[in-house]
Amino acid sequence: MMDLILQRAAAGERLTRAEALALASDSSVAQLHALGQAALQNRTRRFGRTATYVLNLAINPSNICDGGCTFCHYHAEEGDAQAYVLAEDEILRRIQELAPREVHITGGMNRFWPWARSQDLIRQIRAHNPAIYIKGFTAVEIARFAQDTHQTPRQILQTLQEAGLQSLTGGGAELFAERMRRQYCPTKLTPDDWLAIHQTAHALGLRSNATMLYGLGESAEELVDHLLRLRTAQELSGGFTCFIPLAYQPGKEQPDATTPSPRESLRVIALSRLILDNIPHLKAYWPMIGLETAAAALSWGADDLDGTLGEERIAHAGAARTPRALSAESMQTTIRLGGFEPVERDGAWR
């Protein structure tokens, strides 16, 4: 039975919920190897022996946030020693220095970067960098802008698109399971609202990413249901470009807490490739899982390693021990270490 499911998954056939759950529920070593083999066949059928990366810059305007998510070690309160607020000229200067092909903008929810200033930042980036790909804001930030200005998310998205935004980021999805949200982010945007904002963006012609936080004790059912909700949403609106599983990062002050093991990360990546059959790209996010695991993940279903980043702040506010940035050469070396041929892409995957 399991062999048949894996054969169908390797061939890119759609799995039922029962089949997906069967794969996710068996974490034995033998099953893990079979899962990896199926995911490798699936990704090779799609992408051959190539894997992509992008010269990009992560821009996080401020870490001050009143979101209250207990798993998040990035956010700070006003007045905290680690709280910061970047200025527009610092951001624009950094873009000038690094000349990335893509910017990825996301930050905390605070009074320092309200709607007017945030949309103006997009306009300024576009004015100074006509060719750059602008990916910015989580659905959570879009909802906050809408709430603060008594507009609809659609109006906010239209204004950002007109300013130069091309894609939403995938953050803020966390895990859709109600049990996990009650425990870790009870006041956050609901999964229905998160999905609705992405689907509104898709209807306007914007693209977006999707994410899933794992490593906080989620069950096989919770993981599978998260992937299936995304698969259903993609059937309807079709605008998700890439899926990124995000490994939980414990805080620096939590010596006993651990991030998911390489084995668990590879298992989640393989399951994502096999279950989420209609989101084209699957990213192994190296700041959170490490360079060696990211390289190995290319043989477990992933086809992209994200990018050079310039200065990663979110994972590194937790216990991440990876570099904060990589050179293009390091991205290429990492992909070759995994046994694949590196190909540089832009933000639109061209």
- Contact residues for ligand SF4 (CB under 6 A)? 65, 67, 69, 72, 74-75, 108-109, 140
> Which residue number has the CB closest to ligand SF4?
67
Rounded Cα distance, 158 and 311, in Å: 29
Q: What's the min distance (Å) between Cβ of 75 and ligand SF4?
A: 4
Shortest spacing between CB 108 and ligand SF4, in angstroms: 4
Nearer to ligand SF4, 67 or 347 (CB): 67
| CB of 139 or CB of 326, closer to ligand SF4 | 139
Query: Among 69, 160, 78, 154, which Cα is nearest to 115's?
Result: 160
Residues 6+ apart with CB under 8 A from 15: 5, 8, 9, 23, 274, 275, 277
Cα 56 from Cα 319, distance rounded (Å)? 23
Contacts of 130 (CB under 8 A, 6+ apart): none
* Between 38 and 140, CB nearer to ligand SF4: 140
Tokens representing 253 are 């002050």
Identity of the residue, 12 or 251, whose beta carbon is nearer to ligand SF4 in the bound complex: 251
CB of 142 to ligand SF4, least distance (A): 12
Q: Give the nearest distance from C-beta 187 to ligand SF4 in angstroms.
A: 9
Cβ proximity to ligand SF4: between 82 and 232 the closer is: 82
For residue 10, give the amino acid letter: A
Q: Is 330 exposed, middle or buried (0-12, 13-18, 19+ CB in 10 A)?
A: middle
Comparing CA positions, the residue from 128, 60, 98 lying closest to residue 308 is: 98
Q: How far apart are CB 276 and ligand SF4 at their closest, in Å?
A: 22
Q: At closest approach, how far in Å is the CB of 82 from ligand SF4?
A: 13
Within 10 angstroms of residue 63's Cβ, the number of other Cβ atoms is 23
Residue number with CB closer to ligand SF4 (66 or 162): 66
59/167 Cα distance (integer angstroms): 14
Q: How far is the CB of 45 from ligand SF4 (least distance, A)?
A: 35
Going across the sheet that includes 341-345, the strands are: 304-307, 50-54, 341-345
Nearest distance from C-beta of residue 335 to ligand SF4, angstroms: 29
- Residue 173 or residue 297: which is nearer to ligand SF4 going by CB? 173
H/E stretch holding 317 reads: helix 314-317
Complete edge-to-edge strand list for the sheet that includes strand 56-59: 56-59, 102-105, 133-136, 167-168, 207-214, 240-247, 281-282
| Percent of the chain that is helix, strand, coil (3-state, to 5) | 45, 15, 40
Spatial CB neighbours of 81, under 8 Å, sequence gap ≥ 6: none
Nearer to ligand SF4 (CB atom), residue 249 or residue 334:
249
Beta carbon nearer to ligand SF4, 21 or 64: 64
Minimum Å gap between C-beta 171 and ligand SF4 is 7
Q: In this structure, what are the phi and psi dihedrals at residue 277, rounded to the nearest 5 degrees?
A: -80, -10
